[in-house]
Structure 1
């Protein structure tokens, strides 16, 4: 799992975007495909049901129409004119015979015109030895033979529709026992059905397809899609015994057909309607093509959209990566140019500000460390010079010589503490109380040296100062500066005051003397150096000022002024973070 995640993480952004959009859209496409197929199947079922109902409706109409014709035909058994011509011809006058024939013909014509499916109606009358027909008053002698042949075909396999010489008839024989006796019947009525009308009826189905009306002896087809007819009849025959009406899909070769079958018990005939499945699903297939075009278009849109997002995201990221690599190489100066106002512009600006702050912080830490090292070096160099160190040893020699061992012990201890503090490495900040102890060690040594000339007022460190950390070696140089420059030429009654104060936002250290002070030009030059940020050799007060500014910024620093005793007063401000926290 971890390896798979690692491989995924290593994939570039553009393939990730494409895969992400595809994963999001794939369920939608799948759902659309499923819905399309379900809709397609539902439409096929609905169309199939509709066609089945339409076929049943048209077949029922045909059945009812032929049933009506057959019932009307059977009523001719009781027709008065027909009975007179069949039984009473010998006693009828010519007028009566002609009138009866004309009336009968009129009735036959009326029956013929009542149905489009009737082509011709003829009645062979044995006593008349002729035929009354809707086409002619009397027929040829062979009409009797044809009428008998049709009647015999009816009693063999043609009820109610008789097939004879590729024509269809509705036959009525009186009496109806022609098959049991050789006696010639009184009359034979044959209604010839219109093959053209039946074919046209098959062509009037609302759906374009092949249709056949058939039984074992005859068949009428509309000649649409004749090629697969035999195979479709063969495959449909498998289901005929199971149901009198059904619809099923039939596959002939590579083509699929929908077949609708219905059988009429009354007519002893079946209706088969079939059509290519493409006829009803062709439009749906068009929708399927449009669906796949939509899928392909969506995929192209996803790729283009992903590429657009890739350009919108990757190009700024590339610039940012280059800048990161530049910073990694230690180049903090080159900036990332950006005039953008969007989120990337905000990131670029924040990044540049972060780099600038990092550069400033590095400079501060580096420069502060250098200045601390310079301060320590200067202090060490100054203290080991004869100016301080020899004087200290001379004091010890004098004290030992005059048997002032306790004072010599105090001086030697303070001298050891003093050098131990300034030579200690690794500490850039110390608690203020440690710095004050170091200053006291220095003052104790100087008190022995200047005991008759300088009076020191060293105020105890207030309790609230304890625990405050400050840069190391920033207080002792102030006191040393007072001894060397302020009180160096004072012969007597020299004063040195070291005090502590605080308020809500800062701690204050004050060193004041009553020395000779500085001239106006010296005051101005010193203030310029303290406020200037130009690099150069920095010692004493200037060194302390630069270190405080690097550490605390505008919240800390050093100020000088003329004191109330006539000499110099030096202030050091340290931020009171303890006060801010409380």
Structure 2
């Protein structure tokens, strides 16, 4: 057993899959074969039963329809219009006579239109010496010989259906029992049955086969399988005498036929329906052929499906194992890209997200510390700019000397606020409102210095963003950069725009000038540096961009471009739902 298990374990995955599916499906195929044979017999029985029920339904329907027609026909014995024409014609005026004939014709037409089996209705009235018919607009004189001939044929060819000159009629003679008296009839009504409608009914059977409606005097047949009709009828003669309904097989030559027979006592007629047995069995044999084709196709499908399963499982597992080995070796940069939406796609995406989260955690725990150290160094370099300090004291000295005490007071207050803000320790994040106030202090000092050269347009901060915590000293360097590099060479009509905008769930801080300090080459260089992930030497703007990325991820950052005033435009994105509210 151990040796067999080892051999099975050493078999490749693909043959294992094929063998497993074949073992699973073999009992199903065997059971299907048995069920197919049982189904053949059951279908054969069901079809025979269905045909028998159809013939019985047809006969019942035909009987009820002719019975209804006969009842309506017999109702004319008491018809008032027909009685007047038969007995009181001489006392009727021309108007009354015409009206009575028309009323009678309307009743005959209504009866004719009530059934598809009625071809024509005629009433021969002896006192009128004419016939009222649904096929004629006016009464026809004479024609009594035909009506009387049909009436006499009723007593020789049977009732209720009378055959005369290869036509079928329902006859009503009044008074009745005319053959036992020498008294002439008052009227003879004949309803001619439609041979086309009866033939059409035989052709409308759902099963393909020949149909014959007959008795000893007449017969109506459809146009299917007419050649063996006489032989089948002759072969079933003995059985038809013994039984009023049966279903049996009869062999005509080498061809077996299934025959269904039923006799109607009311109509004094029989219905025989027959069809070749291979019409049913042949279809079942076709099912058998299709079954074996299904078995062969199933085997091919099993092989293809096994190969598909092999590809769907083995190859993705190989990719996943390679990715595990890369991560194990410390390579977090290789991406296991997948556009799949199945379970493997879910595993790949979750695994990749786990690797990215792991890389992010490493960045936060190690890279962030290094970048924060670099950032703090850069901030210390930017916090106390000697040139800005000298200029501020020189402006303050000039204002005091010129007795501009109010402006000097404003400069000293803003200068104190400015240096108080940048020299505070221990605060890595501050409310956005404080950061904006720090920028305003800086702008107020610069307004005094460049009052004749630069006009500043500073928007108010939206109230809903006052309490959002952001990294300290990320806004003022942008404004300082605009003064030094964008507007440093401007001697008049300089413009600086500081604006806030709300976009979806983000606040945008925008600084734009109309200076000419930003060339196209320098713009491309700065944008390239923003998207590089290497450390290297960084500027103040790039340092701010990286601080924002560490804080907010992809939803935060810095963007450098050319503004609508012709100079540089620097924008900062701050997500409103990422910082804490105070």
| TM bucket normalised to smaller | 0.3 to 0.5
Structure 1 length as normaliser, TM-score? Answer: 0.45
Structure 2 length as normaliser, TM-score? Answer: 0.45
Q: Over alpha carbons, which structure has the higher Rg?
A: 1
